[in-house]
Amino acid sequence: MQKRILGKSGLEVSALGLGCMGMSFSYGPPKDKQEMISLLRTAVERGVTFFDTAEVYGPFINEELVGEALAPLRDQVVIATKFGFDTSIDPRGTKGAPVLNSRPEHIKQVAEASLKRLRIDVIDLFYQHRVDPDVPIEEVAGAVKELIREGKVKHFGLSEAGVQTIRRAHAVQPVTALQSEYSLWWRRPEAEVLPTLEELGIGLVPYSPLGKGFLTGKIDESTAFDSTDFRTTLPRFAPEALKANQALVDLLGRIAAEKNATPAQIALAWLLAQKPWIVPIPGTTKLHRLDENIGALALELTPDDLREIDSAATQIKVEGARYPEKLEQLTGR
């Protein structure tokens, strides 16, 4: 497995990580625990060393799952988790949007609880899940800096933060990685975020690098999602948007046919080719999908391939917002 380094801090991880959220949360009912433990351990056997979770996934059950699965393999893995929501108040945000809480005392409580659930003595990468407008980012960075000093956290990360927030946080405690959505159907980070990360020496960890499953080519306007699947709430997954956005999947399919690959592999290879400090974290609950995703690392996209993809993709107007308005408001602050 190829390795990549996130940020100037020297955090080395596998070039492809594994997003664990869907094993317990958001994509339908939680999956069978023993099957997921087996999948997580197989991922390590395949060379994956970077695993992503959060206290809000469940809440709590995803961290517990990751902790149980990876405890015997602790010295081989990097575990990232997140703080920033008040899990005592409607963590699924069914009344609109989840309640944010990044007060320093809360961050410390979350860290202690996450350490226990994950069965570890230090959190490798601790992200603020969403920027809290009620708490200055300098205070947030200061609280994590203290946790780093105490040996409870190794690296500080932000998720879906805006450029000014990234700069202010980085000035207090160097930011190792920004986690944000980035893929062929969400390219907004290219305008301001990527240049800022490059300038400051911060890694990018794209979540939903396969467009929440859409870029695999396995979803179309007739796909029926489970009622507990959060994609039922996303404007971009409305049938008319899926129909309009099919052009992007068709493009990936054409390139994939030429390369003897799958659309998902082309989407991941495209992301990996953008910058050497980008580490996507596609999630999956199936072993054959894990192997398919890892297969993207063996794909070589030439400069001509990348130009062709870029040129064709810019002709396609992606339809539908990626989140309902209240959730979209939590991003880019």
Tokens at 225, concatenated: 């999602």
Q: Which residues contact 196 (CB under 8 A, 6 or more apart)?
A: 163, 166, 167, 202
Tokens at 270, concatenated: 């495209």
Beta bridge partners of 207: 181
Instruction: Based on DSSP, count helices (H) and strands (E) in the chain, helices before strands.
Output: 11, 9
Residue 5's CB is within 10 A of a number of other CB atoms, namely 16
Q: Which residues contact 142 (CB under 8 A, 6 or more apart)?
A: 104, 172, 173
Handedness of CA 102, 176, 182, 163 (dihedral sign): positive
* Alpha carbon distance 277, 287 (integer Å): 26
CB 252 within 8 A of CB 267: yes
Total count of residues recorded for the chain: 333
Backbone torsions φ then ψ of 177, nearest 5 degrees: -150, 145
Give the amino acid at 200.
L
Q: Which residues does the annotation mark as catalytic?
A: 57
Burial class (CB in 10 A: 0-12, 13-18, 19+), 190: exposed
Give the amino acid at 304.
D
| Alpha helices per DSSP H over the chain | 33-45, 61-70, 104-118, 137-149, 163-172, 193-200, 239-259, 263-274, 287-295, 303-314, 325-328
**What does DSSP say about strands 11-14 and 3-6: parallel, antiparallel, or unpaired?**
antiparallel
